[in-house]
Amino acid sequence: MRYFQLLPKTHIDFIKIRKTFFFISGVILLACICSLIFKGLNLGIDFTGGTMVQVQFENNTDISALRNALQSKGINADIQTYVGKNAFAIKVKGKQENVNEVSKKIENALSSIGTKFNIEQTSFIGPTVGNDLAKKAIWAFVLALGAMIIYVAFRFQNIIWGAMAVAALFHDILLTLGVFSFFQIEVDLVIVAALLTIAGFSVNDTIVIFDRARENIRLNPKYDLATLLNISVNDTLSRTVITSITVIAATAILYVMGGDVLKNFSLALLIGLTSGTYSTVMLVPGLVYQWSQGSNFDAMATGYAAAADNRHAGNNKPATENKPANVVRRHKRRYNK
């Protein structure tokens, strides 16, 4: 039975061109760091504090009409809806002493809608809760990265592989934050959730490549590191591209049709998922090769080679004969630097 194949079998020498991608990523990350230093992040009300006005309308009111009315008065607000109650919570960044002034502006804007309403509550939201949740999110992220390093190091017998996988995650998250900083897109707790989602998706693709590399080194322990990584990435490239296109396409639809509430969240996912696909294929293999030459990889390969030799000692067959003849030499010539 023949299966549909989106991408043909590739033989790209990712290790040979690794320094080109290092340079490109270095320039992009430098720009992101400069933006974060000089422009900073546009933190949402969850982190800065502000005024919250809870309003109840007598008749059905569309959130877009409410948003347009507020924007016509120069009010940039976060709007939370209460399903089935025709009520909204309007949040505007600002200091505690400006609560009365902001609430009056909101009330004037609501009057222009033409529907009777009742302001149920006006209060100041302090940044304490948001900061506490942000600290917990950071700790959760740090602990998750540490667990990833330990897991990859234990499963693939090489801590460098785990460290490089986490380095790629930092690349994806820093790039996402850099874009948000440059365009001054608001960052709230929803964006924190998006960053954690990006980390989980990115490391999944990296694990797939590492797992294929582990299979290949068991089958062909005589492979050098560059050949092993190139073959493993090319073997999984079609799977990585198809998976990424599917997820990115769904996220793009969410960005276009999800409305203002989900726009920033889906944008963060779009940036992070795209960057995650790039870093998984273009950066991680090169980073692993750059940091593993002559170190733990040699010991791991030697261990698999010894085990393979022992398995084939009884019939005097070379360890590489579990593949067609000359396959190891052919792969090495194909990726010869």
Structure tokens at 68: 């347009």
Under 8 Å between Cβ of 55 and 18: no
Structure tokens at 104: 């009056």
How far is it, in rounded angstroms, from Cα 29 to Cα 95?
34
- Residue that the structure tokens 């600290």 belong to: 135
Q: What's the pLDDT at 163?
A: 84
Q: What's the pLDDT at 304?
A: 53
Exposure string of 36-69, with b = 16+ CB inside 10 Å and e = fewer, is beeeebebbbbbbbbbbbbbbbeeebeeeebbeb
HSE of 284, CA atoms in CB hemisphere, 13 A: 31
How far is it, in rounded angstroms, from Cα 59 to Cα 82?
14
Fold classified for 50-125: Alpha-Beta Plaits (3.30.70)
Going from the first residue of the chain to its last (337 residues), give the mean pLDDT of each consecutive group of 10, the final group possibly shorter.
Answer: 65 92 95 95 83 87 87 86 80 82 89 86 75 76 81 77 85 94 89 86 85 86 86 90 91 88 91 93 91 58 53 49 48 54
Kind plus residue range of the DSSP H or E element containing 255: helix 225-257
Domain boundaries, the chain: 18-40+130-321, 50-125
CATH number of 18-40+130-321: 1.20.1640.10
Exposure string of 154-169, with b = 16+ CB inside 10 Å and e = fewer, is eebebebbbbbbbbbb
**Count of beta carbons in the 10 Å neighbourhood of residue 28:** 17
